[in-house]
Amino acid sequence: MREDQMTPEERRILRRRKAPAIHRWEQELRTQLDLAPERFRRVRWDRWRGIYQAICQRFANRTQTWKNGLHWANTNGYSPWAMERLAGTWQAEPDSWFSALPELLPQETGMVYFLLDLGGDPCGADSFWLFEGFLSQLLQVLALLNQTAFLGLGWPDYYIVSQKYRWIIGYNHHDVVSLAGEGFSAGALAEFLGPPA
């Protein structure tokens, strides 16, 4: 089917599928860190929207407007479910806070989602790049990204989310980490992040 015969939604999906920036960015990560695709990868074009919507359903605050996505959730608040389980917000060192992830999430043995908030439409999933990977590889990725201004993207907000949607960790450009959900180690929270902000 030619692009001019497609619906707007079909054109948006096609553009997303062919988006060269996310592919180049992922390749640069792979090259610099020697990442195996089975350990850290971009979520495929046919899965990302459903995953993003499930994350928003669980964690985005939809009490003020039905369109609210994750954009600025780490500043304006999460869903009522997540806010009831808010572990806290902390001022963090941008280049090292994530080293506490294995201790914060001692039971997390599977992959997690990693979402980069690139701005754009605050209500749209198109402003997010979505990856999945194991914590050990995510630690390598975050270390490299902090050394390289996110490989030229600047300093976007980002989220790390359980693939079982049990918890969410948000990091914003004000160097504030927020943790909400279930499964965090209470001892590690106090030890590594200090008292809540």
Per-residue pLDDT tens for 6-41? 787 776 666 656 667 787 888 888 888 999 999 999
Output the CA–CA distances (angstroms, integers) from residue 186 to 8, 36, 159, in the order listed: 46, 32, 20
Q: Tally DSSP H helices, then E strands, for the chain.
A: 9, 7
pLDDT beyond 90 at 197? no
Give the start-to-end residue ranges of the domains of the chain. 3-193
Strand partners, 159: 115, 170
Give the residue with greater pLDDT, 68 vs 136: 136
Q: What is the pLDDT of residue 66?
A: 47
Q: What is the pLDDT of residue 9?
A: 74
pTM given for the model: 0.84
Alpha-carbon distance 148 to 22, whole Å?
Answer: 16
- How confident is residue 174, by pLDDT bands cut at 50, 70 and 90? confident
The 10s digit of each residue's pLDDT in 120-172 is 654 455 578 899 999 999 999 999 888 887 777 777 889 999 999 999 999 98
Sheet holding 167-171, edge to edge: 40-42, 128-133, 112-117, 157-162, 167-171, 176-181, 86-91
Identify the three-state secondary structure at position 130.
strand
Q: What is the pLDDT of residue 146?
A: 84
**C-beta of residue 69 within 8 angstroms of C-beta of residue 122:** yes
Tell me the two tokens of residue 68.
């609210």
